[in-house]
Amino acid sequence: MRRSVVALARRALVNALRKPQFLAPLVIFPSLFLAINVGGLGATRELEGFPAVDGFLDYQLAAAILQSLLLGGVSAGIAVALDIEGGFFDRLVASPTPRVAIVLGRVLAASVIAAIQVVYFLVLGLIFGASIKGGALGVLCVLAIGVVAGTGFGAIGVLIALRARSASTVQGIFPLVFVVLFISSAFFPLELLSAPADVIARYNPLSFIADGMRQPIAFSNEALPVLEGLLTATAIAATAIGLSILALRGRLRDA
Amino acid sequence: MLVTLLRPTGGHARVAGFDVAAQPAQVRRRIGVALQEAALDPLMTGSELIELQATLHAIAPRSVRSRGAELIERVGLTAAAARRVGTYSGGMRRRLDLAMALIHEPEVLFLDEPTTGLDPTSRLTLWAEVRRLRDEGTTVFLTTQYLEEADQLADRLGIIADGRIVAEGTPASLKAEVGRPHLDLVLAKGSDLQGARELVTRFGDHRPVTEGCHLSIALEHGAADIAPILRALDDAGFAVAELELKQPTLDDVFLQKTGEHLEGADDHGAQAERMPLPEAQAETV
């Protein structure tokens, strides 16, 4: 099964590299959003309740990474839906490779792409003056949370694609991603959000992931937020992968 | 259902000795499948795709390259192997699809309308490969809407109409079932067609069908009837411009077995518009 997972992940990565319209939006769009936010909303730092940070870019970097990872999940879902629509998925299913490998191959590719996304934004941040307070260990923390979260979002994309079987439907969840992201603490601290957004954001899993990545970048390697972020991302990934495998089995039953 | 993509809602089917519902994994290990649309990833090269297929079929890593190259060569795609599949023609895609289905030397090969949309050269190449596979001992299960293709390739053939098998047997036995060969005649212009019709009717239980200068006669004793009919026509002064002996075809079998029913028409034969005929399926063993 390991060979099948690696081969399918490799195929997904090769496809992503050969079709720039899949990969480019994952970094370009959040980069532009980051530039606009940092350029136009920097004064937010002066508001009461905003934590003391060296720069607004330091604070926003985690939001940009999270946004990019969520888009990566949408992209993974679209790729699977296109495979289903084009019939390639039937070829995979008609082969003797275990069903789990089909899901894990795509999810592994999402993990690799997530690592690239995290590194890209950290480098971008450093180029434009951000500093990573946690140092090398902090980078590893951000990378760990980012990769696990990207894996989970990729699995959610796969899950939706297996249920919807249509690329346009998966594309349709794109606005929803932004709604969920904006009612989290990704862009602004909970203290600056009004009710009921602050209540929702307090329990929004994306808040834990954003705060977990932000802590080593903007503040320190304090363990609690990092662990909360990592655990939340792991829970999302494990749940989504499990549900995706069940959805694939269900798809075969219902087809 | 036979390739385990759909779960049967009822009944039983065994492929290569295994139940498709209860033992789908065993079935998948023993079958090769080339689906109707030649669903290939356009962004990958031919070599990459066939090597992926080899890996999915658990071919030993050291053999993946050589086995892939061997099959690519067999289907005549060596020169295009490094190109992305998106640049392939329809015929090239079909051949790659076939090569991928053969990567693990399956006991049973399913080909779903493998020549649909192909040019005549590609079609003949694919037919030759199907015959070769059959001769090598592979069971080929082929579905087609081209009855000529079924006639050419099938050792055993089944016709499905409205989801049910309405005829099954060898092409020869099925054709024999639908009846006698026909003699098609074209008389010279200005001939008394009614007189000619009455003349050939005298040859027994023949049922001549006339259309323009054409006369079609069902021959009770096959080719042996031709000479007497021609002699009688000649003696009566009829000039025959063309003649053709037509053996029953699978088209005749299909039309008889399916009742010439047009898909979408009502039970009383309303045929306001022509629709595609139901799908025929042929199986070669």
Sequential pLDDT tens for chain A (255 residues): 889 999 999 999 998 888 887 788 888 989 998 998 888 877 777 777 778 778 889 989 999 999 999 999 999 999 999 989 888 888 888 888 888 899 999 999 999 999 999 999 999 999 998 888 889 999 999 999 999 999 999 999 999 999 888 888 888 887 888 888 888 988 888 877 788 888 888 999 999 999 999 999 988 888 999 999 999 999 999 999 999 998 887 665 444
Q: Identify the CATH number of the domain in which residue B233 sits.
A: 3.30.70.3400
Q: Closest residue of A to B24, CA-based?
A: A96
| Interchain pair B55, A91: CB under 8 A | no
Is B169 inside a domain boundary?
Answer: no
pLDDT at B38: 67
Output helix, strand, coil percentages for chain A, rounded to the nearest 5.
80, 0, 20
Question: CB burial class (10 A; 0-12, 13-18, 19+) of residue A155?
Answer: buried
Q: What pLDDT score does B273 carry?
A: 32
| pLDDT tens readout for residues B3-54 | 888 888 888 889 988 998 888 888 888 998 888 776 888 899 999 999 998 9
- Render pLDDT for B233-284 as a digit per residue (tens, 0 to 9): 888 888 888 888 877 788 878 887 877 554 554 444 333 333 333 344 444 4
Domain of B237 in residue numbering reads as 180-246
pTM: 0.75
Whether residue B141 contacts residue B284, with contact meaning beta carbons closer than 8 Å, is answered with yes
Question: What's the rounded Cα separation, in Å, for the pair B110 and B113?
Answer: 10
Chain A neighbors of B25, CB-CB under 8 A: 96
Q: Is residue B220 part of a domain?
A: yes
ipTM of the prediction: 0.81
- Please write the tens of the pLDDT for every residue from A83-129: 898 888 888 888 888 888 999 999 999 999 999 999 999 999 999 98
Residues of B in Cβ contact (< 8 Å) with A104: none
Q: Which of B143, B160, B192 is the last residue of a domain?
A: B143
User: Is B18 in the same domain as B108?
Assistant: yes
The model's pLDDT over B144-202, given as tens digits with 9 standing for 90+, comes to: 888 888 888 888 988 888 878 888 888 888 887 777 777 888 888 877 878 888 887 77
Crossing angle of helices B90-101 and B120-135, rounded to 10°: 10
B90 in the same domain as B190: no
* Residue that is last in its domain, among B94, B126, B143: B143
Q: Which residue has 């021959």 as its token pair? A: B219
Q: Has residue B95 been placed in a domain?
A: yes
Position B3 in a domain: no
The C-alpha R_g of chain A, in whole angstroms, comes to: 18
Asked if residue B19 belongs to a domain, the reply is yes
Asked, for residue B152, whether it belongs to a domain, the answer is no
In terms of CA atoms, which chain A residue is nearest residue B84? A18
Note whether B44 contacts A11, CB cutoff 8 Å. yes
B167 lies in a domain? Answer: no
Looking at the structure, do residues B133 and B40 belong to the same domain, yes or no?
yes
Domain end residue (candidates: B83, B116, B143): B143
User: Which CATH number goes with the domain that contains B23?
Assistant: 3.40.50.300
In a domain, B259, yes or no: no
pLDDT at position B248 is 79
Count of domains observed in chain B: 2
Encoded amino acid at B79, one letter: A
CB proximity B5 to A under 8 Å = yes
Cβ distance of A3 and B44 shorter than 8 Å:
no
- Do B19 and B137 reside in the same domain of the chain? yes
A233 to A151, A224, B84: CA distances (angstroms): 9, 14, 37
CB B124 within 8 A of CB B105: no
